[in-house]
Each structure stands twice: as structure tokens, then as C-alpha cells.
Amino acid sequence: MATVDGGGPPTTPAQVLAAYERVRDQLPRAVGERPLRPLPDLAPLTDAYDLFLFDAFGVLNLGERAIPDASARLQALRAAGKTVLMVSNAASVPLPRLVAKYQRLGMGFTAETLVSSREALLAHWHAHAGARMGVMAPDDGPLDDLPTPHHRLLDDPAAYDAAEGFVLLGSDHWTPHRQALLCDSLRRHPRPVWVGNPDLVAPREDAFSLEPGWWAADLQRATGVVPKAFGKPHAAIFQLALAKAGYRGDPRRVLMVGDTLHTDVLGAQAMGFDAAWVVGQGASAGLDVMAAVRRTGIWPDYVLPHI
């Protein structure tokens, strides 16, 4: 099994935190210590912000299950006249499918109010089209929205050597064997690697799944190739969110709400936004909040059990 700087796949929130700490050199710098305010939920912050950005997994849902009362909070913010967007590192499916999923879960997002890292990567890809890209995606994942030429990476070594670059979208069916083929090909011939989902893991109903960011960190360690990432905590996805929202106001009137210090909180604060860290479920459930903050040096503006 692939590792991240010697650490195996995490099975607890504490191990997730440790895994992100091992790749800190690949992430934006923390902005430093700031006051941390505990809150029961987001209600006291309704009037303090104009634009609310929500992570998905661990905040709105766990896998295919909606988190109780999440949709009610979104509805309350919309009723108060706030702009509400979902900003997700989910890159394995096209935007319409992601919108349909969150409509089924009762979250009320549309193509105009949902921002995915796949979108951010596609904007870059369209600007640099022409090269044949090998794509990490679920074996049954649709690729119709991707620029051509491209091909899916499965178990044929020749497909890896034929690619002029690599795009990591989704890892549901990725295996250590496929990772070895990718790394071997990159050692022989280094090429660009673009990462649609920089998350190391995602919280599911009863476990953590390994995401493209995990495999990207492993290939960087194994080959020396430095991937380019398009999701949180990196700027491209936040810039796309601001563009979709049509927001040109004070960044301090933007609040990012997420369950992961190293993606949601770190990325938002690097943009000048405030950040609320959700710790009641998801990637940070059960962590010692102050110990985690002091260890990482990532200080959210707020900490709350749920939204």
C-alpha cells in the first residue's frame, strides 16, 4: 500500500491530522495565531458574513447520508439573504452529477452555487489543451466533459507510457498496482501531474477513503515529480468560487466552513477569508481541538460541533 512519507493509510482523525502534517511543505503557509471562538453552530454568525462557503463531506454529508439539520442551516442562511455556495474537492464526476447528488440530499445547490475542483482543473486543462492526458478516474466514471485527447488509466502499462501528462480525478478503483505503473512510468519519463482532488482522505459513513491527494503525495515522494493541485487548500478553487458568486467585497466578509484544518481552514485563511472548523463529525471528529491547533499552527476563527 502506498504511504505518505512513511505513514500508512489513516484510520482515525488523529492519523489524518498526522498525515497532513507530513505533507505541509506542499500546502499554503498558515497565517499565524488568532483568537479562536467556540460556538454551538453558525446561527450567531449569520449577520457577520455576506458569503458562506461550505465544504461537503463531514459538514453537509457523510458519504451518501446527509448530516441532520445541515439543509435547514443552508435554508436559514438563504432566507437571511446570504450567498451560499458549496466548495468541494469532489472531482470524480462532472458538475451536473454532483449537483444531482446534493439535490437528492436536500441541500438545494445548483450549477451556479456548487463549485467543484474538477471545474477548476478543467479551466486549466482547456487553457492547455492538446496533450494526450492519462486520467485516474473510477472505472465507471464519466469522462465526457474532459478535453481530448485523453484515456483512462487501468492496468495496461502501455497506457501510462503513452500519456503526455496525468490527471488525477477520482481514486475509487485505484490500486497499488496502478500506482506502481504510474510511478514507474514517471521515473522513466517525468511529465506533468494535475490533481483534481488534493484531499488525502474523505470521511465516509464508517471509515476514511483514500483520495487522489494521497496517491499524489505518494508519487511525489517516489518520483520527485511535483503535482499541481486545483482543489482546497489551493487558490484556484476559491478564485472560481468568488467568480461564481460574483463577489468583489471584503474577503473578511467571507466565511469558509469545513471539517479539515489543512484544506478548508488553511486554504480559506490564505485567501483572506475567515474560517469555521466543524469538529462534531467527519475528518476531525474526536480530536483534542486545542492540541490539534497548537500542533499544526492553523488557528480557525471559530470551532463548532456542527453547522
pLDDT in tens, the chain (307 residues): 566 665 678 889 999 999 999 999 999 999 999 999 999 999 999 999 999 999 999 999 998 999 999 999 999 999 999 999 999 999 999 999 999 999 999 999 999 999 999 999 999 999 988 899 999 999 988 999 999 999 999 999 999 999 999 999 999 999 999 999 999 999 999 999 999 999 999 887 777 889 999 999 999 999 999 999 999 999 999 999 999 999 999 999 999 999 999 999 999 999 999 999 999 988 899 999 999 999 999 999 999 999 9
Dihedral sign, Cα of residue 52, residue 272, residue 17, residue 6: positive
- 58 Cβ partners below 8 Å, 6+ apart? 203, 258, 259, 260, 278, 281, 282, 283, 284, 285
* Residue 141: CB atoms within 10 Å: 18
**Residue-level pLDDT at 54:** 99
d(CA 12, CA 149): 40
d(CA 13, CA 11): 7
Task: Kindly list the structural domains of the chain, giving each domain's residue range(s) and its CATH number in brackets, ordered by start.
Answer: 13-118+232-304 (3.40.50.1000), 120-229 (3.40.50.1000)
Query: What is the grid cell recorded at 249?
Result: 467585497
DSSP state of 263: I
**Residue-level pLDDT at 51:** 99
Label the pairing between strands 208-210 and 201-203.
Answer: antiparallel
Among candidate residues 161, 163, 156, the one with its CA nearest the CA of residue 134: 163
**Residue-level pLDDT at 202:** 86
Query: What is the grid cell recorded at 258?
Result: 469545513
- pTM, two decimals, is 0.93
3-state secondary structure of 168: strand
* Residue 149: CB atoms within 10 Å: 13
d(CA 254, CA 66): 24
**Residue-level pLDDT at 10:** 87
**Residue-level pLDDT at 208:** 87
Exposure string for 222-250, b = 16+ CB within 10 A, e = fewer: bbebebebbbbbbebbbebbbebbebeee
d(CA 58, CA 45): 20
End-to-end CA distance of the chain: 35
- Residue 95 and residue 64 in contact, taking contact as beta carbons nearer than 8 Å: no
Alpha carbon 303 to chain centroid distance?
19
Among candidate residues 145, 169, 28, the one with its CA nearest the CA of residue 89: 169
